[in-house]
Structure 1
Amino acid sequence: MSLEVQVTVDAEDPGALAAFWATALGYVVQAPPPPFSSWDEALEAWGVPAGRRNDASAAVDPDDRGPRLFFQRVPEGKTAKNRVHLDLRAAPGLTGEERMAALETEAARLVGHGATRLLRVDPEPPLIGGNIVMADPEGNEFCLD
């Protein structure tokens, strides 16, 4: 049996969060099924009321290698630290200042797209290579590693 992995994220604004993570990961917001040219067109045709058209969205790997990220609207906001989070491998194979410089560059890019920088953890060889803890636009923590 073969299973595919999908990561599901609760959200206030699924469309905006899908767009952020698509940008962060080099993914794309999932396109609507044929023959529709937009999700709004598809949802209109399916009779989905305008107020429910942002109840879900997804970001997908255009190369079909990584997991699909599915964002679903929930009524409550985030209240505590994530128990599971994504690590974005922004500096694989790099060490020391070269590693931290690459992480800083990626952190600045993501802040420009709505992320928040939370904490820098400097390298402590041999166990800690250094990372930057970030939050997406809705406060979900993730690490640049």
Structure 2
Amino acid sequence: MAREVQITFDAADPGALAAFWADTLGYEVQGPPGDFESWDQALEAMGVPPENRNDASAVIDPAGSGPRLFFQRVPEGKQAKNRVHLDVRTAPGLTGDERMAALEAEADRLVGRGASRLARHEPAPPLNAGHLVLADPEGNEFCLD
């Protein structure tokens, strides 16, 4: 039986990191439960104090096919290179200069949203089509592929 997967990120600012990844993936921030109009209303009703209302956030695929991403506040910052990372499929089906131009355009957009550029790997056919390595606003590495 296949299992549903959630990808969890440790974060200093779960709300901001969730907003970055929602924009990056075309996801949306998961709405509040029940009939609440906002998360602040829901958390107030649950008795969550204001200082803990950014302890967690989540984003979901509006089409319902991609995994949920969950962001949880932790006290420590990122310590080392990720052992697992996301590949954001930005240029499927494109090759060569056209592919790298599409990757560069998306990298420029994401840098404007707080990402950092880390590396560019040129195409080396037949096994490497070329990709860019970036880091999200909290330093988590990911690839534009």
For Structure 1 versus Structure 2, the TM-score category normalised by the shorter chain is: over 0.9
The residue that corresponds to 2:12 in the other structure is 12
The residue that corresponds to 2:49 in the other structure is 49
The residue that corresponds to 1:65 in the other structure is 65
CA displacement, residues 58-82 of structure 1 (integer Å, 9 cap, x when unaligned): 0100110100000001111001000
Which consecutive segments of 4 or more residues in structure 1 shift more than 6 A?
A: none
The residue that corresponds to 1:22 in the other structure is 22
CA displacement, residues 101-121 of structure 1 (integer Å, 9 cap, x when unaligned): 010011011111111111111
Corresponding letter in the other structure for 2:129: G
Helix, strand or coil for the counterpart of 1:111? helix
The residue that corresponds to 1:99 in the other structure is 99
The residue that corresponds to 1:88 in the other structure is 88
Q: Take 1:62 and 1:96, find their aligned partners in 2: how far apart are those partners?
A: 31
CA displacement, residues 28-54 of structure 1 (integer Å, 9 cap, x when unaligned): 000001211110110011110111101
Q: Take 1:93 and 1:2, find their aligned partners in 2: how far apart are those partners?
A: 28
Helix, strand or coil for the counterpart of 2:77? coil
TM-score normalised by L of structure 1: 0.97
Give me the identity figure in percent: 73
TM-score normalised by L of structure 2: 0.97
Helix, strand or coil for the counterpart of 2:87? strand
Note the aligned Cα RMSD (angstroms): 0.8
The gaps in structure 2 that reach 5 residues or longer are none
Residues 96 and 2 (structure 1), Cα distance of their counterparts in 2 relative to 1, 3 Å cut: closer
Count of equivalent residues: 145
The residue that corresponds to 2:36 in the other structure is 36
CA deviation after TM superposition for structure 1 residue 2, in Å? 4.2
Helix, strand or coil for the counterpart of 2:8? strand
